[in-house]
């Protein structure tokens, strides 16, 4: 079936992370023939989101630590005399130090079943079930089969756009899980000694009725598909580059967003809300009247600080935190501005950087709500897929679970001319985009990577209780000792479609100084308590209880200069993996720069033509129909999408 | 068509095409109303219901074209008030929607108040609604205003009439809310205005302030708490002399028939004769439900009765007399704000008003300093501020005079630009207005029926309208003013006792033969010094 792939493209994109997907969409939109492949079975690479069972199989893959050796036809034979090959890596090394802890009560009986299910699920994802495999392998080479490709895009990871199919698949998984396997715990709790005591066997059956308010591990498993767990935890600045791009390209119609509802700060052991908009300041109960005025005055100044150089010129040399001390601000206001609004730290930024960050924050306020941030429903992993979808609409061809063995370089011209895929097929192209993690160690031997420490928690309540239990919050916890980094905490409620009812999904992110657990556990301990039986007896525990925790380190390949990679031909471009920053500006910037190299002088993701404006003049346009044959299909897609992906924000745009 | 009486659906159709594009077309709305009225008589109830439904839908589409069209909202009001069973819940929902889009659309607010009244929505619910909108954006006059209407309804105070004050706990909560607003954004006027409403009081109770009887002039003078027009409609005064009614002619001091604080009447000789040990005079103000009595003792030239100056009602009309602790803490927080925002005029003005409410005399010096600052930061309103300052200074002087229980008032060297509260000076015999910036002696000065000596040197006075009909005025000093023509002295003719007039340093003295001219104009005055 692999033979069906066309053998020639204009652009081959390897990796389906956000920058790659944007470039693929942009190229496809500009009329390039695009092949977009990913060796994984899911979209997004390290930008992906997983259901609960999905994340378990994902982490198992990294914990197993064994190379998956696929028997592939030897590609070496195909390299001609005037050619060289750049072998690509067979194994992803971007994730390290994966550790999982389960605190929710685990009924032994159930536990057994669920744990077994993981294996099954894992098997289905990694080694592929027949239908899935057929999808990725059965690649259409003719235009008329494009539609099936388009449909496939959402099926993999987008429950929203193809809900029924998704439901079916999950049902099969969950019910299937219950019957077979007896292996337990190993994949859930590896690396943790402290919890053996928790696995108290109880004689209860697998009753579906939980004890009131107590979420058990089996419930999480059972409702696993309600989770969409992001590998990278980011938000969209409501005036950031990504929002602009989503709107400009009309990709926004494939996604829905929710406004972050509050900005929090952690101070003196307490979580409190940071007033940042005018309405917040007005409504705040914690600020004194005078503080309200001070804060508003300072923020108003920051909005147009460039116009008042007299107020900061003298302080340009010092850090932002020192500068704040010179302003009329009480210590708590200084804290809010420094950590929660400018989102920097004592040492990290100078006055100008701090003012710029504050201004940016304020500038984004109020566009879609009372905070500057948006979160995509169903998780950050939606975004790469949205762009993939646009790429597919304009004729891009998608192949998941399709690895590329090597790039073929012409010795004479020093240009890359083709790839050889896992089936040994040689596919020619003009441009090659490769995500950093696909390069082998030979290519990256001189590259210095930074690391991001990540943690994902499932908790039973919000870190700051309010009337509404549907709050989406961002909290910055400054690094305590010098040399440690601030930890960004994003707490998602069930209405973001990323976790089951009664739980919150909490993401922690910081620049690594040690392993993820060493970096993040102190913060986790400050904010949460482990979910233990004894504590349940006490009526009200102040802190939210941890049900489940995952730690891992992710490679940060942003900021790596192209020159650090060995021997890259000029038509091979490197896309970096996710960076540790909060916004997505890096990815968009990178995508635009690379797109301009591939398609100089082309508009970057212009809005697609309105289907109603397209006049299909059958006779005259038939011969040159390459573009127009695609668009009517896009049109036929539209009604289907709008039912499942109606975008309430669209009005305000 | 309209004239021809062709009022049918075709007119509706035609007008809807135009109004759909531009709803600001009052004539067409009128036309539609006529048609609808006509159809009401002709159609069956079912047809009519359908018609109304279409009309409501059409109105909504017009509102979407222009949510601030007077005609459209008015038409909706008209239509709904004609319906037998209007769906008020739906109308409230409509208002909420439109206010969601633009929370400051006062047309919609107006309509909402109409709907809320018609549907008898409890004030508490409406208050909660204003809460929610103020929480979203407090720069909202309409919302604050609605609160000021709702709160007195929610917390009626027995003793304070229709525009009553709020109980203290409610007041404190509101003050906190509004302080949040002006500390957050002190340049937003809506909050300051609401603050002023909170601290302000309703109009003072109607009262007779002062009653004065003079035997010589055979005249009775009354001053009221507000200007009234005696003889018009309900404003009638009843005079009882020695407990029997007496019919008299009421007139204003300046002779003009218009609302005035002060009214007077001539008394017949019988009611002033010296045979009885005393005469009592009682004036009953029927509309104001108030009365006052004074006694003229045998052998006395005059008798009076007036409210004492210690009565706080006198000059604190701007701000109420809530517990001074509340005002004091308001003053403290405003001063804090002023330190942060030294140039905020609203804050400065509020400080001044608070100080006046607390203790006008104690804070007099400080108030004047704040006026200085305020004038510097808000030069556009310098004249207004000068007048306000003059008003406060006059008030303070009147207070001091009354505490001292004298009938002499010194208002010299105060930089006054305007004279006010003259109705409070009914009993003053000596008035010094020298060294100010007055440009006129206003007609209201005629209320000073007891005035004997008036000094107004060193001003910029050009007209003397108020120096008329002053029965006791003997001496008038007008040196160094701007009296141009001898004719401006004409009003003085009506002051029978004027014997001494100082006019040095006025332009009119330069004219050739000025003295002769003046002697001719004012023959009764003994000495005119030029």
Q: What is the full DSSP assignment across B84-119?
A: SS--HHHHHHHHHHHHHH-TT-HHHHHHHHHHHHHT
Q: What is the pLDDT of residue A67?
A: 53
Band of pLDDT at residue A644, cut at 50, 70 and 90: very low
**pLDDT(B215) > 60:** yes
Query: Pick from A279, A282, A293: which is nearest to B340 by CB?
Result: A293
Residues above pLDDT 70, as percent of chain B? 93
Tell whether A296 is within 8 A of chain B (Cβ). Answer: yes
Strands A487-492 and A504-511: antiparallel
When pLDDT is averaged across residues A22-51 and rounded to a whole number, the result is 94
The pLDDT, as a whole number, for residue A373 is 94
- Taking only the tens place, the pLDDT of each residue in A567-592 is 899 999 999 999 999 999 999 999 99
A284 interaction partners in chain B (CB closer than 8 Å): 180
Taking the C-alpha atoms of residue A317 and residue A351, their distance in angstroms, rounded to an integer, is: 7
Question: In this complex, which of B135, B137, B184 lies closest to A292 when CB atoms are compared?
Answer: B184
Residue A66: per-residue pLDDT: 55
Which one, of A257, A308, A313, A567, lies nearest residue A443 by Cα?
A: A567
pLDDT over threshold 90, residue B411: yes
A620 pLDDT above the threshold of 70: no
User: Which one-letter DSSP state was computed for residue A8?
Assistant: B
pLDDT tens, A293-331?
A: 889 989 999 999 999 988 888 888 899 999 999 988 999
Q: How far is A359 from chain B (nearest CA, A)?
A: 18
Question: Tokens 């969950």, residue?
Answer: A174
Q: Is the dihedral of CA A170, A171, A176, A182 positive or negative?
A: positive
In terms of Cβ atoms closer than 10 Å to its own Cβ (0-12, 13-18, 19+), residue B313 is middle
Dump pLDDT digits (tens) for A362-372: 999 878 888 89
**Highest mean pLDDT (candidates A1-5, A117-121, B451-455):** B451-455
The answer to whether B375 and B382 have CB atoms below 8 angstroms apart is yes
Minimum distance, in Å, between the CA of residue B126 and any CA atom of chain A: 19
Q: A57-110, pLDDT tens digit by residue?
A: 998 887 775 555 555 667 788 888 888 899 998 788 899 899 999 888 776 554
Structure tokens at B52: 């109304």
pTM of the model: 0.73
> B284-294 burial string, b = 16+ CB within 10 Å, else e?
bbeebebbbeb
B227 dihedral zone (left: phi>0; alpha: psi -120 to 50; beta)? beta
Least confident of A407-421, A457-471, B163-177, B388-402: B163-177
Interface of B with A (CB under 8 A): 135-138, 179-181, 183-186, 333, 336-337, 340-341
Task: Give the helix/strand (H/E) hosting A477.
Answer: strand A473-477
Would you say A221 and A52 are in contact if contact means Cβ atoms under 8 Å apart?
Answer: yes
Q: What is the mean pLDDT of the segment spanning A194-221? A: 54
A572-575 and A431-435: which strand pairing? parallel
State pLDDT tens for residues B519-529: 888 888 888 87
A215-224, A643-652, B313-322, range with the lowest pLDDT: A643-652
Q: Please judge whether B341 and A297 are an interchain contact, meaning their C-beta atoms are less than 8 angstroms apart.
A: yes
Rounded to the nearest angstrom, the minimum Cα separation between A289 and chain B is 6
- Put simply, whether A292 touches B (Cβ < 8 Å) is yes
Region of poorest pLDDT, from A114-123, A268-277, B110-119: A114-123
Q: How many CB pairs under 8 A join A and B?
A: 43
Q: Residues of chain A with pLDDT > 70: what percent? A: 74
Position B433 confidence tier, pLDDT thresholds 50, 70, 90 = very high
Does A284 or A228 have the greater pLDDT score?
A: A228
Residue A617 has a pLDDT of 55
Residue of B137, B185, B340 lying closest to A294 (CB–CB): B340
Judge: B185–A278 Cβ closer than 8 Å, yes or no: yes
What strands lie across the sheet with B430-432, from one edge to the other?
A: B408-410, B430-432, B453-455, B475-477, B500-502, B527-529
A282/B333 touch (CB, cutoff 8 Å), yes or no: no
pLDDT at site A284: 87
- Reported as a single tens digit per residue, the pLDDT across A181-191 is 333 333 333 33
B243 dihedral zone (left: phi>0; alpha: psi -120 to 50; beta): left
First to last CA, chain B: 77
Residue A342, number of CB atoms within 10 A of its CB = 25
Q: CB atoms < 10 A from the CB of B3, how many?
A: 5
């Amino acid at each position: 079936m692999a033979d069906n792939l066309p053998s020639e493209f204009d652009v081959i994109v390897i990796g389906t992370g956000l920058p790659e997907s944007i470039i693929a969409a942009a190229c496809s939109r500009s009329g390039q023939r695009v092949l977009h492949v990913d060796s994984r079975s899911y979209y997004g690479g390290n930008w992906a989101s997983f259901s609960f069972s999905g994340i378990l199989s994902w982490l198992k893959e990294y914990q197993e630590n064994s190379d998956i050796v696929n028997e592939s036809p030897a590609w070496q034979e195909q390299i001609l005399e005037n050619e060289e090959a750049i072998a690509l890596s067979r194994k992803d090394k971007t994730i390290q130090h994966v550790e999982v802890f389960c605190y929710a009560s685990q009924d032994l009986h159930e536990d057994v079943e669920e744990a077994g299910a993981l294996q099954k699920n894992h098997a289905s994802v990694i080694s592929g079930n027949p239908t899935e495999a057929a999808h990725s392998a059965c690649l259409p080479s003719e235009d008329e089969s494009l539609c099936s490709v388009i449909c496939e895009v959402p099926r993999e990871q987008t429950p929203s756009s193809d809900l029924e199919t998704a439901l079916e698949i999950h049902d099969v998984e969950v019910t299937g899980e219950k019957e077979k396997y007896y292996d337990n715990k190993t994949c859930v709790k590896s690396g943790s000694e402290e919890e053996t005591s928790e696995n108290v066997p109880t004689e209860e059956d697998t009753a579906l009725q939980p004890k009131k308010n107590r979420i058990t591990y089996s419930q999480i498993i059972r409702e696993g598909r309600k989770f969409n767990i992001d590998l990278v935890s980011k938000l969209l600045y409501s005036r950031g580059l990504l929002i602009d791009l989503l709107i400009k390209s009309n990709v926004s119609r494939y996604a829905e967003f929710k406004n972050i509802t509050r900005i929090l700060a952690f101070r003196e052991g307490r979580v409190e809300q940071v007033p940042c908009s005018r309405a917040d300041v007005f409504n705040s109960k914690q600020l004194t009247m005078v503080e309200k005025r001070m804060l508003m005055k300072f923020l108003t100044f920051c909005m147009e600080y460039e116009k008042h150089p007299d107020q900061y010129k003298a302080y340009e040399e010092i850090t932002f935190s020192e500068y704040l001390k010179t302003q009329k601000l009480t210590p708590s206001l200084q804290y809010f501005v420094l950590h929660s609004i400018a989102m920097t730290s004592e040492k990290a930024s100078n006055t100008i950087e701090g003012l710029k960050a504050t201004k940016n924050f304020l500038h984004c306020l109020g566009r879609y709500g009372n905070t500057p941030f948006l979160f995509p429903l169903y998780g950050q992993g939606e975004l790469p897929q949205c762009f993939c979808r646009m790429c597919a609409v304009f004729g891009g061809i998608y192949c998941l679970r399709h690895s590329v063995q090597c790039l073929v370089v012409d010795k004479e011209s020093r240009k890359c001319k083709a790839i050889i895929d896992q089936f040994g097929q040689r596919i020619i192209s003009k441009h090659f985009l490769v995500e950093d993690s696909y390069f082998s160690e030979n290519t990256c031997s001189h590259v210095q990577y930074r690391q991001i420490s990540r943690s994902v928690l499932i908790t039973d309540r919000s870190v700051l209780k309010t009337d509404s239990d549907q709050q989406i919050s961002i909290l910055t916890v400054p690094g305590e000792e010098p040399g440690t980094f601030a930890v960004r905490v994003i707490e998602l409620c069930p209405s973001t479609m990323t976790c089951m009812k009664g739980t919150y999904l909490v993401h922690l992110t910081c620049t690594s100084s040690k392993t993820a657990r060493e970096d993040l556990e102190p913060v986790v301990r400050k904010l949460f308590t482990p979910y233990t039986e004894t504590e349940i007896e006490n009526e009200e525990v102040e802190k939210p209880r941890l049900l489940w925790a995952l730690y891992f380190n992710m490679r940060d390949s942003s900021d790596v200069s192209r020159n650090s990679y060995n021997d890259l031909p000029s038509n091979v471009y490197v896309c970096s993996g996710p960076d540790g920053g909060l916004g997505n500006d890096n990815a968009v910037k990178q995508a635009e720069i690379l797109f301009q190299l591939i398609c100089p002088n082309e508009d970057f993701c212009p809005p697609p033509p309105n289907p109603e404006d397209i006049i299909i003049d059958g006779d005259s346009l038939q011969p040159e129909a390459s573009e127009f044959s695609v668009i009517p299909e896009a049109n036929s897609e539209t009604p289907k999408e709008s039912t499942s992906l109606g975008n309430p924000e669209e009005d305000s745009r | 068509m309209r004239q021809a009486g062709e009022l049918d659906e075709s007119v509706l159709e035609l007008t809807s095409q135009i109004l759909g594009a531009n709803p600001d077309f009052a004539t067409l709305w009128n036309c539609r109303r006529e048609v609808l009225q006509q159809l009401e008589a002709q159609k069956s109830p079912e047809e009519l219901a359908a018609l109304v439904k279409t009309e409501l839908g059409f109105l909504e589409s017009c509102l979407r074209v222009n949510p601030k069209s007077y005609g459209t909202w008015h038409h909706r009001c008209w239509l709904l008030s004609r319906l037998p069973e209007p769906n008020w819940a739906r109308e409230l929902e409509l208002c909420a929607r439109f206010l969601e889009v633009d929370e400051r659309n006062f047309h919609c607010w107006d309509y909402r108040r109409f709907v809320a009244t018609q549907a008898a929505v409890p004030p508490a619910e409406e208050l909660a609604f204003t809460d929610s909108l103020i929480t979203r954006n407090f720069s909202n006059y309409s919302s604050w205003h609605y609160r000021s209407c709702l709160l007195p309804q929610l917390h009626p105070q027995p003793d304070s009439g229709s525009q009553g004050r709020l109980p203290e706990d409610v007041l404190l909560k509101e003050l906190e809310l509004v302080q949040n607003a002006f500390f957050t954004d002190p340049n937003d006027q809506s909050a300051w205005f609401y603050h002023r409403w909170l601290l302000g009081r309703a109009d003072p109770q109607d009262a007779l302030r002062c009653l004065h009887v003079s035997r010589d002039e055979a005249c009775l003078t009354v001053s009221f708490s507000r200007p009234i027009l005696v003889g018009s409609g309900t404003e009638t005064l009843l005079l009882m002399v020695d407990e029997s009614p007496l019919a008299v002619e009421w007139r204003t001091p300046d002779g003009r028939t218009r609302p005035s604080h002060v009214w007077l009447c001539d008394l017949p000789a019988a009611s002033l004769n010296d045979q009885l040990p005393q005469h009592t005079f009682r004036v009953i103000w029927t509309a104001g439900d108030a009365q006052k009595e004074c006694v003229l003792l045998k052998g006395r030239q005059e008798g009076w009765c007036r409210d004492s100056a210690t009565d706080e009602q006198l000059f604190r009309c701007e701000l109420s007399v809530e517990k001074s602790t509340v005002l004091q803490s308001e003053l403290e927080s405003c001063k804090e704000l002023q330190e942060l925002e030294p140039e905020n005029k609203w804050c400065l003005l509020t400080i001044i008003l608070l100080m006046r409410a607390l203790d006008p005399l104690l804070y007099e010096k400080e108030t004047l300093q704040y006026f200085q600052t305020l004038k510097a930061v808000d030069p556009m309103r310098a004249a207004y501020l000068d007048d306000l300052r003059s008003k406060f200074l006059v008030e303070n002087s009147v207070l001091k005079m009354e505490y001292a229980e004298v009938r002499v008032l010194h208002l010299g060297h105060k930089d006054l630009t305007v004279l006010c509260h003259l109705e409070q000076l009914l009993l003053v015999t000596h008035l010094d207005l020298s060294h100010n910036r007055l440009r006129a002696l206003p007609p209201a000065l005629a209320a000073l029926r007891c005035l004997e000596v008036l000094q107004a040197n060193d001003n910029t006075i050009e007209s003397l309208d108020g120096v008329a009909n002053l029965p006791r005025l003997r001496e008038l000093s007008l040196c160094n003013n701007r009296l141009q023509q001898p004719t401006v002295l004409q009003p003085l003719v009506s002051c029978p006792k004027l014997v001494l007039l100082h006019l040095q340093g006025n332009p009119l003295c330069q004219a050739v033969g000025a003295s002769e001219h003046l002697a001719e104009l004012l023959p009764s005055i003994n000495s005119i010094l030029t």
